[in-house]
Chain A
Amino acid sequence: MATALTRKDFVSDQEVRWCPGCGDYAILAQVQKVMPEFGIPRENVVFISGIGCSSRFPYYMNTYGFHTIHGRAPAIATGLKITRPDLDVWVVTGDGDGLSIGGNHLIHALRRNIDLNILLFNNQIYGLTKGQYSPTSEVGKVTKSSPMGSVDFPFNPITIALGANATFVARSIDVEQKHLGETLKRAHSHRGASFVEILQNCNIFNDGAFNDVTDKAIKADHQLVLEHGKPLIFGKNRDKGVRMNGNRPEVVTLGNGVTEAELIVHDETNLALAFMLGNFQAPLPTPIGVFYATSRPTYDAAMNAQLAEARAKQGEGNLADLLKRGDTWTVS
């Protein structure tokens, strides 16, 4: 294609039907905005989703798209990517789709390191079914299916991904447009399974779930933007940091003898650090950005390499010879 693509080229003719004010709009806009930067023809891009609010996503992208069944998008994407490594395959899922009904497929796609871009919209609620607690909802959450409060201990998407040996694990936020765009670009440039948790506000059933990291008045004191090689500093005045106290992380205020040199320096190749950051809970800030990135052969490339190796060693298969393999005899 001679002319470069623009955001509009990735907008489909379908009317977007999320609830007004849904965080999904912002994510869709950001994905459509960054897609042209990859320089990949639209026909080589495929969005695959499962079931849930987030999973309507493919209908709105003017690429190839497949709205599949609940939880199975990573498995369907796996079959496509293995046989069509030429394609740029994205998986869009949610906390229920990806971590509850489809948890098995998600962890296996991650450990196999299928070259997929997996976006998990985490709103900590079941939206499409009108407001039941999800596997990422906090204990005590009162919903229609948990009138006395949920007794269900939640999953942490970041540590699930790390535990599944994902090679790229990041988190961003629907309304942090710039950060989200940059995170999507990093995820896309990663070869292998890229896992991005996107904190997403469901303004109907779980409004304000991420207020601490999205409310302009307070977010700076709760949001820790991870940058490789940089110390963990946050706060409105960039005066807070995280350092190790023994083998536990603690928040400190810079100054009064506390210097940057004492702070933890983020290293996205350090799995142990990634786990620790993934487990940050108040009063520690909520990290966003790339927790972990490493390089490992992808399943799809390894499988295709085996096919090429078999052809190189044994020659292209000959059907007539194959049928004759083993002991044969002639009846005359």
Chain B
Amino acid sequence: MALPPEAAGHAAESSGLGGGAAAKPHARRDSVVIRFAGDSGDGMQLAGMQFTAESALAGNDIATLPDFPAEIRAPAGTIAGVSGFQLNFSSREVFTAGDEPNVLVAMNPAALKANLDDLPPNGVIIVDREAFTEANIKRAGYSSNPLTDHSLDKFQVFQVDVTKLTTAALHSTGLNNRAVFRCRNMFVLGMLSWLFQRPIESTERWLEGRFKKTPELLNANLMALKAGFNYGETTEMFASSYEVQPAKIVPGLYRNITGNAATALGFVAASVKSGRPLFLGSYPITPASDVLHELAALKNFGVYTFQAEDEIAGVSSAIGAAFGGAIALTTTSGPGMNLKAEAIGLAVKTELPMVITDIQRAGPSTGMPTKPEQADLLMAMYGRHGESPIPIIAASTPADCFECAYEAVRLAVKYMTPVILLTDGQLANGAEPWLLPDVSKLPPIKVEFASNPDGFLPYKRDPETLSRPWAVPGTPGLEHRIGGLSSEDQTGNVSYSPANNELMVRTRARKIAGIAREIPATTIFGDVNGGDLVVLGWGSTYGAVREAVKQMRDKGKSVSHIHLRYLNPLPSDLGEQLRKFKKVMVAEMNMGQLLKLVRADYLIDAIGCNKIQGRPFKVNELINRISRSLEG
């Protein structure tokens, strides 16, 4: 198999196809990128996720990127119904799920066709040969069978009779064809587990949990998994298996986590540390719903989840919960953000703490719901009427979602303000190993409700943070009224005084700007004293940018990387740091939104590096773009 160049001094590489050696050698590889692809009902996401879990347990560093269609079950065998899951596992630190797969598993012709463009020459393709029927070939839009028409000659194609072998392995179970067919993904997983020396015990345990109530299906899946594993060992097709050594990563206890799960856990941690109950008001929307699902299952943590009648009720109910003293949340994606805008303005005006999570997806309008984009930044900044500044935090990796969710709550309650947390579809469903934090070392989240009626005024501010008191109903002597109408300084009584309105608007703006005081100094990866070019990024582009910058630095280029977590306010030293570089390139999955802010705030002639395809940057795309800029 033509896997990536191996580290020097390892076992000899086999040529791959039909090696037929009796003893099967291991070949060592630094990293491997596999993409599982099939019909959305083929279970490729599950196979990919389990392969990820196995790889994590094997000690590799990993990054994943699921890619699924918006339709739950598009017509079988069509390109629209193809679901994919890409995994990069490595013996060194990885930052992305990989630009292009070394191995493509295609369960049908559509899966092959949809993914073939991403495969490099000599890449490995593993197909279920029986799925290449005349009808399926036609449905995928092929005019002839790609397995026989030589169109795949530049790749290494392994044709495995997955369906037939799975059927044979499960013959004794007496299950019907449909049930057997649904075990094909476990056969494939078993086969790949053998090929890459993954232990399958964790998958066995996982299957036991998943099929606890259906022993016959559990048995069938286990049989398929083992049959696949044994097939790998005995078939003459694969000449060797591959070994990817454990990566050197920071010691500690790890688990694999997706961005949405990490987001949910960050919120729960904030609730526990603040001692206040968590309330999520949310309306289901892709790709945000998993946060709702995660939190709905944590009721023993005192977590309230309210599936609202619409996006507006989601945020509104959170505002009500915040008024009552809960850690209040709403979660959504772009279209929902539009709907929530007015209510977010109310939270700004009434200065109630809450976190609005926008798990960005490709727009405009319904756009591509399952695909990531970063085009909601300016909406988060400015997408409300009137002057309504809001702190904005963006997570950069799936595990980082935990810290960012936690930090968003911390800022919200400290500054009595709604906070917007930006993640995206790539972070939401992507996964990586997460070094579990020491719960006792999480920064404190102090919640102090007002309780003393003497001199209480609803808009009497803390002199340092400028935040108003959190005075919750049920507190004797603090009865007061708040609302969206312009209100008087201190008392909060309705006021149309022009000077007072300006005072309140400016005070709220100062309050948010003041958060910059506690934003850590900007860290520069690369030339800390300045250099030829710095790539400024935010959010999920972190991995691709870091990898690209690393590779260019390895080649001696003066390229650096700054990645932002705080987007409003921006770190106070950012302008100064950016000015140290001859060129500033802002890389983002939009048409230049952070770019606009940077140019406006710092009068720096920054240039953009933009992609709006609903797909993350590839490392090579960034390298090409940076190289051109360095030459120009």
Contact = CB atoms under 8 A, between A and B. Distances in A.
Interface stretch (B35-43, B167-175, B249-257): B249-257
B473 A310 contact: no
Nearest to A313: B300
Given A65-B481, A68-B346, A331-B251, A83 B316 contact: no
Interface in B475-522: 475-485, 493-494
A58 B302 CA distance: 30
Nearest to A332: B251
B485 to A, nearest CB: 7
A63 B477 CA distance: 9
Interface of B: 53, 56-57, 59, 202, 205-206, 246, 249-256, 265, 268-269, 272-273, 277, 279, 281, 298-304, 306, 308-310, 312-313, 316-326, 328, 342-343, 345-346, 350, 436-437, 439, 472-485, 493-494
Contact of B301 (A45, A322, A330): A322
Which applies to chain B's interface (DSSP): helix, strand, loop or mixed? mixed
Given A43-B475, A330-B253, A68 B436 contact: no
Contacts of B250: 331
B560 to A, nearest CB: 29
A72 interface: yes
A58 B483 contact: yes
Contact of B480 (A64, A80, A327, A330): A64
B473 A46 contact: yes
Contact of A317 (B256, B272, B325): B272
B320 A78 contact: yes
B306 A82 contact: yes
Contacts of B474: 43-44, 84, 86-87
A219 interface: no
A326 B57 CA distance: 12
Given A43-B478, A84-B325, A59 B281 contact: no
A179 interface: no
Given A66-B481, A67-B485, A79-B320, A323 B254 contact: no
Looking at B246, B317, B350, B481, the one whose CB has the most chain A CB atoms below 10 A away is: B481
B479 A76 contact: no
B370 to A, nearest CB: 24
A224 interface: no
Contact of A327 (B256, B316, B318, B325): B256
Contacts of A330: 251-254
A105 B254 contact: no
B300 A326 contact: no
A87 B324 CA distance: 9
Interface in A307-332: 307, 309-311, 313-317, 319-320, 322-332
A169 to B, nearest CB: 20
Interface in A53-95: 58-59, 61-70, 72, 75-84, 86-87
Among B57, B59, B319, residue most surrounded by chain A Cβ atoms (within 10 Å):
B319
Given A72-B316, A83-B279, A105-B316, A331 B473 contact: no
Contacts of A313: 300
Nearest to B272: A319
